[in-house]
């Protein structure tokens, strides 16, 4: 069928609808490598502006680390640019398997399989490992890729209220007639920055004979004493049946993800997970960079420790300035504003002051929960945070919101 | 109050409101458009209704509109109760 005017108009109307609903997402062009300071062109065509970046998933500051870049260069020279094949034909290099083994050791699991992304790992895992005899019970705030993966799977779907262990237990009792039960959670929740109660989840899993699935994308490399992730933080290393995680955040930030866990589950993914089977794996150059990342995070916890210090310092600065900050100890620090328009205006105000942070509002977060999500990095120096807080204070004063709690903020913008 | 409305309202309150959430669910409170229930968590409500009333609600009928209020959900249940008779 031709792309007729009627078809074009139909799509244009839909796009206008997205804009009218305030949900249109524009891109901002970055003219520099990723880092604590970036050069941003926004809006498109405007002069490039240098900003402090407070919204990257570059938790360990490794996205542009010279050793990682050098390793990637060397990998490019020794293993080439692309594989031009999926893994099971002629797309697996020795370094793919080497990286999988390194991840297995780091995460404390039995085996690992790389995927093109963690989105793909989550998209492919459930269909490969569960069927109509089984049930998936997910925390209601899990990442969208898990929701998509669950929808592709024939197993029964159920959900429990966010981090509500009583509700999870009710669901586990309800589904005792199923062949397999799988509890599904994120480790660190991306919008709130809070951490799953993984020790309690594991206890319930043992009591009700369920497997545990953990997406630790916002934790691998820096949560826990040696950065293994939420399972280390909660004292349940070795007790998680499946961990999915990403190379696209703390671990160099390029792309790629993995399924890591029980040997048989990983093998099922190797045999049946469609995003693994029908797509090229992570490019050699990224594998080479990621291997260097594994070296860096294994030999020292300095970067993870610095991130922890930055997180505490930044939380303290925000609270001292009078912002309403969501509690937690992860480097995701949401500044609660509750009102969608205020969140957008606040983000624009910050950008004018040279700080890049993004406002989130419904449907990305629940209605009435609008916020600025700030994210810390080991690449931030104290002076970056001292400068950023000045911008936050200035914009906060302009809006008259410093020192206001939830009730006052909601009341102020209610009309 | 209609028995079905009461059962649905109680289930929605128990299943979807977080602890400390003081919102009252009435017959006309917008559930989906109001952000209380989303398509991901709606599945448990659908299954509850099917089990409780021994009915089958086909996917085509389980639309966000049909699930948007306690009133519309109760109407949906009645419709499929009749269909099953």
DSSP result, A294-350: HHHHHH--HHHHHHHHHHHHHHHHHHHHT--B---SSSEEEEEEE-HHHHHHHHHHH
What's the ipTM? 0.85
Residues of A involved in catalysis:
190, 218, 249
pLDDT averaged over chain A? 96
**Confidence band of A25 (pLDDT split at 50, 70, 90):** confident
- Say yes or no for a CB contact (<8 Å) between B18 and A147: no
CATH topology of domain A25-54+302-412: 3.90.1150
**pLDDT surpassing 70 at residue A123:** yes
How many residues can be counted in chain A?
Answer: 415
Per the structure, how many domains does chain B have? Answer: 1
pLDDT averaged over chain B? 89
Asked, for residue B39, whether it belongs to a domain, the answer is yes
DSSP result, A220-242: TTTSSTTS--HHHHTT-TT--SE
A140 shares contact with chain B (CB less than 8 Å): yes
- Say yes or no for a CB contact (<8 Å) between A157 and B43: yes
B19 shares contact with chain A (CB less than 8 Å): yes
Range with top average pLDDT, A8-12, A42-46, A360-364, B57-61? A8-12
> For residue A415, what pLDDT is reported?
61
> Whole-angstrom Cα distance, residue A83 to residue A90?
7
**Confidence band of A265 (pLDDT split at 50, 70, 90):** very high
**Confidence band of A60 (pLDDT split at 50, 70, 90):** very high
**Distance from B13 to chain A by nearest Cα, in Å?**
12
- Model pLDDT for residues B3-35, shown as the tens digit of each residue: 999 999 999 999 999 877 878 899 999 998 888
**Distance from B43 to chain A by nearest Cα, in Å?**
7
Q: How far is CA B71 from CA A154, A199, A320, in A?
A: 30, 40, 47
**pLDDT surpassing 90 at residue A89:** yes
Q: What is the CATH number of domain A66-299?
A: 3.40.640.10
- Model pLDDT for residues A321-338, shown as the tens digit of each residue: 999 999 998 999 999 999
Number of CB pairs < 8 Å for A and B? 27
**pLDDT surpassing 70 at residue B1:** no
**Confidence band of B84 (pLDDT split at 50, 70, 90):** low
**pLDDT surpassing 90 at residue A357:** yes
Q: Domain locations in chain A?
A: 25-54+302-412, 66-299
A406 shares contact with chain B (CB less than 8 Å): no
CATH for B31: 1.10.1200.10
- Say yes or no for a CB contact (<8 Å) between B43 and A158: yes
- Say yes or no for a CB contact (<8 Å) between A161 and B18: yes
B20 shares contact with chain A (CB less than 8 Å): no
> Whole-angstrom Cα distance, residue B81 to residue A303?
61
Residues of A in contact with B44 (CB under 8 A): 158-159
Asked, for residue B41, whether it belongs to a domain, the answer is yes
Window A:328-367, CB contacts with B under 8 Å: 362-363, 366-367
- Model pLDDT for residues A379-411, shown as the tens digit of each residue: 999 999 999 999 999 999 999 999 999 999 999
Nearest to A220 by CA among A238, A233, A211, A236: A233
**pLDDT surpassing 80 at residue B85:** no
Crossing angle of helices A118-129 and A144-151, rounded to 10°: 30
- Model pLDDT for residues A280-311, shown as the tens digit of each residue: 999 999 999 999 999 999 999 999 999 999 99
Of A161, A164, A362, the CB nearest to B35: A362
Of A138, A162, A367, the CB nearest to B35: A367
- Model pLDDT for residues A159-169, shown as the tens digit of each residue: 999 999 999 99
């Amino acid at each position: 069928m031709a792309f007729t005017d009627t078809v074009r108009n139909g799509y244009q109307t839909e796009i206008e609808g997205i804009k009218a609903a305030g949900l249109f997402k524009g891109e901002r062009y970055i003219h520099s490598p990723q880092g604590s300071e970036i050069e941003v062109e926004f809006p498109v065509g405007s002069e490039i502006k240098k900003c402090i970046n407070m919204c990257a998933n570059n938790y360990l500051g490794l996205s542009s680390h010279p050793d990682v870049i050098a390793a990637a260069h060397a990998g490019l020279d020794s293993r080439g640019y692309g594989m031009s094949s999926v893994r099971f034909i002629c797309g697996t290099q020795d370094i793919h398997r080497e990286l999988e083994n390194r991840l297995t050791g780091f995460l404390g699991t039995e085996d690992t399989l790389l995927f093109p992304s963690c989105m793909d790992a989550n998209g492919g895992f459930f269909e490969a490992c569960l069927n109509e005899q089984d049930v998936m019970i997910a925390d209601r705030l899990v990442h969208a890729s898990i929701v998509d993966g669950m929808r592709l799977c024939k197993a029964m779907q159920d959900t429990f209220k966010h981090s509500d262990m009583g509700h999870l237990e009710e669901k586990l009792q309800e589904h005792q007639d199923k062949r397999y039960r799988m509890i599904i959670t994120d480790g660190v929740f991306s919008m709130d920055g809070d951490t799953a109660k993984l020790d309690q989840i594991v206890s319930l899993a043992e009591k009700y004979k369920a497997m545990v699935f953990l997406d630790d994308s916002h934790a691998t490399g820096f949560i826990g004493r040696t950065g293994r992730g939420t399972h280390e933080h909660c004292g349940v290393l070795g007790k998680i049946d499946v961990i999915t995680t990403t190379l696209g955040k703390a671990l160099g930030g390029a792309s790629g993800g993995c399924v890591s866990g029980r040997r048989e589950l990983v093998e099922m993914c190797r045999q049946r997970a469609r995003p693994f089977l029908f797509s090229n794996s992570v490019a050699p150059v990224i594998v080479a960079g990621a291997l260097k990342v594994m070296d860096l995070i294994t030999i020292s916890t300095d970067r993870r420790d610095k991130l922890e210090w930055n997180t505490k310092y930044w939380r303290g600065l925000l609270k001292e300035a009078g912002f309403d900050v969501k509690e937690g100890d992860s480097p995701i620090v949401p500044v609660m504003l509750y009102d969608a328009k205020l969140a957008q205006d606040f983000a624009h105000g910050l950008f004018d002051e040279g700080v890049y942070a993004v406002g989130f509002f419904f449907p990305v977060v629940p209605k009435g929960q609008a916020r600025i999500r700030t994210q810390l990095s080991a690449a931030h120096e104290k002076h970056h945070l001292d400068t950023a807080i000045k911008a936050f204070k200035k914009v906060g004063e302009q809006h008259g919101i410093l020192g206001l709690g939830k009730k006052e903020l909601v009341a102020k913008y209610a009309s | 109050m209609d028995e079905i409305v009461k059962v649905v309202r109680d289930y929605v309150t128990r299943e979807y409101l977080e602890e400390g959430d003081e919102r009252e669910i009435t017959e006309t409170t917008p559930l989906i458009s109001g952000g209380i229930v989303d398509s991901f968590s709606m599945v448990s409500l659908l299954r509850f209704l099917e089990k409780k009333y021994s009915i089958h609600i086909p996917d085509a009928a389980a639309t966000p509109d049909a699930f948007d209020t306690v009133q519309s959900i109760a109407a949906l249940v009645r419709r499929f109760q009749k269909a099953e008779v």
